[in-house]
């Protein structure tokens, strides 16, 4: 193994709480990586020698983005649905079934290639950790297949058999919950780290969601919840009660929901790509931050309601439409995502952290919001390997 010194960094985002400011920013900084980990951070003037030297030319270096919410094992496309929605039709959870039909009909190689393409697309934009859910199979074999394929690309795999009720069970949702908590869980648990449920009108109610999550917990999976996206509901409080790592969407929250998130350990993961792509009102990030909740930002990348893999886009929207400061949005897209995945090795830059680094083609991370839509990736390292 050889060490690499990245020096002449104009602005280094460490997310190190022992340094001043939310982002623990160091100006005129340097970082040393050795193998897959960071071994040194600090002022460039104090940097130790290394085998190789890279001149960052005054640009900003930040932790690779941690995208803690994505649905990437699918086939097909929903361009027509998006086009219709942008022409005035409302979004409902039922559109998921369109992708289910296409995904079931696809071969393993097609699903794997599609997933690889999106992981690579995200990596080119600075995402070095990405979560991936099942949920477009909705049979025992198709859900297990989705997780097997996902596990070859990421450690953060999530069993989402409870995405919507499978079409075969349209008249027997209780029977579908039995399948999801029984035979399907048995087939999927070996390939998954997390269990998730879409707790929403038109998907699964509070009692059904509780059954899905508790069954998953018994099998050693850690819960996370699609909660309070389209309407008020029990999802957020259930997530906090069951110790979920994250409650995702959090668009419609009562004061009690906000208090529960602020007092509990569950991260509030906001997915502005979904509101953007459905012309829906954005979640109130300021209300959550003011209450003391931990906020993460993720893409929710999926073919129906948020077909973006760009964390930079989510940061820009969060700043413009959700009242987050640029620092808060960058923190939520890195350290926040790591918290939402209970990862201590990513989302920050400090000795011992995985060397997941994003060099921006800009002097400051503020440019992620200041220059929306502009490709700003100068280089990306994942586990110490230069990928871009
Ligand atoms: Zn989702």
Ligand 1 centre to CA of 69 (Å) is 6
Q: Do residues 377 and 59 make contact, with C-beta atoms less than 8 angstroms apart?
A: no
Quick one: pLDDT at residue 263?
97
Ligand 1 centre to CA of 187 (Å) is 22
Ligand 1 centre to CA of 233 (Å) is 16
Quick one: pLDDT at residue 80?
87
Tokens for 229, please give them: 């996206």
Alpha helices for the chain (secondary structure H): 79-85, 96-105, 108-124, 140-151, 173-181, 183-188, 206-218, 235-241, 255-263, 272-278, 285-291, 311-321, 326-331, 337-340, 367-370
Ligand 1 centre to CA of 267 (Å) is 15
Ligand 1 centre to CA of 4 (Å) is 37
CA distance 123 to 129: 8
CA distance 31 to 335: 18
SS (H, E, C) 114-145: HHHHHHHHHHHCCEEEECEECCCCCCHHHHHH
The C-alpha R_g of the chain, in whole angstroms, comes to: 20
Tokens for 105, please give them: 């009909």
Quick one: pLDDT at residue 89?
80
> Which stretches of the chain score pLDDT less than 50?
none
Ligand 1 centre to CA of 217 (Å) is 20
Quick one: pLDDT at residue 93?
55
Quick one: pLDDT at residue 90?
72
Render 7-58 in DSSP notation, one character per residue: EEEEEE----TTSSSTT--EEEEEEEEETTEEEEEEEGGGPPP-SEEEE-TT
The helix/strand/coil state of 148 is helix
Ligand 1 centre to CA of 383 (Å) is 26
Longest dimension (CA), the chain: 68
Helix (H) or strand (E) holding 158: strand 157-162
**Which residue carries 């919950």 as its tokens?**
177
Ligand 1 centre to CA of 305 (Å) is 9
Q: Which of 348, 382, 386, 380 is nearest to 25 (CA)?
A: 348
Ligand 1 centre to CA of 368 (Å) is 23
The pTM of the whole model exceeds 0.95: yes
Tokens for 18, please give them: 């022992």
CB within 8 Å of 228: residues ≥ 6 apart: 199, 235, 236, 247, 249, 250, 251, 252, 253, 257
Ligand 1 centre to CA of 273 (Å) is 10
Quick one: pLDDT at residue 97?
83
Quick one: pLDDT at residue 91?
60
CB within 8 Å of 123: residues ≥ 6 apart: 380, 382, 387, 388
Quick one: pLDDT at residue 166?
96
Structure confidence by residue, pLDDT tens digits, 180-213:
999 999 999 999 999 999 999 999 999 999 999 9
Ligand 1 centre to CA of 226 (Å) is 6
Ligand 1 centre to CA of 256 (Å) is 23
Query: What's the angle, vertex CA 370, arms to CA 323 and CA 267, rounded to 5?
Result: 40
Ligand 1 centre to CA of 135 (Å) is 9
């Amino acid at each position: 193994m050889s060490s690499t010194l990245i020096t002449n960094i104009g602005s280094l985002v460490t997310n190190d709480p022992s340094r001043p400011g939310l982002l623990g920013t160091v100006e005129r900084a340097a970082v040393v990586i050795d193998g897959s980990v960071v071994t040194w951070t600090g002022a460039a003037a104090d940097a130790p020698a290394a085998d190789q030297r890279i001149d960052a030319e005054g640009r900003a270096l930040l932790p690779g983005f941690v995208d803690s919410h994505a649905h990437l094992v699918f086939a097909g496309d929903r361009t027509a649905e998006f086009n219709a929605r942008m022409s005035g039709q409302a979004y409902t959870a039922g559109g998921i079934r369109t992708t289910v039909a296409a995904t079931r009909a696809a071969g393993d190689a097609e699903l794997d290639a599609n997933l690889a393409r999106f992981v690579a697309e995200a990596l080119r934009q600075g995402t070095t950790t990405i979560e991936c859910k099942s949920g477009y199979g909705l049979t025992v074999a198709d859900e297990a297949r989705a997780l097997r394929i996902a596990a070859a690309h990421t450690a953060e795999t999530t069993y989402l058999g409870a995405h919507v009720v499978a079409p075969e069970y349209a008249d027997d949702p209780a029977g579908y919950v039995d399948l999801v908590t029984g035979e399907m869980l048995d087939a999927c648990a070996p390939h998954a780290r997390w269990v998730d449920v879409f707790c929403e009108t038109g998907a699964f109610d509070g009692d059904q969601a509780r059954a899905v999550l508790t069954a998953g917990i018994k099998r050693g999976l850690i819960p996370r919840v699609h909660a309070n996206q389209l309407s008020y509901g029990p999802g957020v409080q259930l997530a906090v009660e069951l110790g979920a790592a994250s409650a995702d969407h959090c668009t419609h929250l009562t004061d009690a929901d906000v208090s529960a998130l602020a007092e509990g350990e569950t991260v509030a993961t906001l997915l502005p790509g979904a509101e953007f792509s459905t012309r829906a009102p954005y979640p109130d990030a300021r209300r959550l931050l003011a209450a003391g909740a931990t906020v993460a930002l993720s893409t929710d990348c999926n073919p129906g309601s948020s077909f973006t893999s760009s964390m930079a886009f989510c940061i820009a929207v969060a700043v413009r439409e959700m009242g987050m400061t640029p620092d808060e949005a960058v923190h939520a897209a890195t350290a926040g995502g790591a918290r939402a995945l209970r990862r201590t090795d990513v989302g920050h830059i400090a000795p011992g952290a995985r060397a997941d680094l994003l060099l921006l083609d800009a002097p400051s991370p503020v440019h992620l919001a200041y220059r929306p839509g502009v490709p700003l990736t100068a280089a990306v390292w994942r586990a110490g390997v230069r990928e871009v």
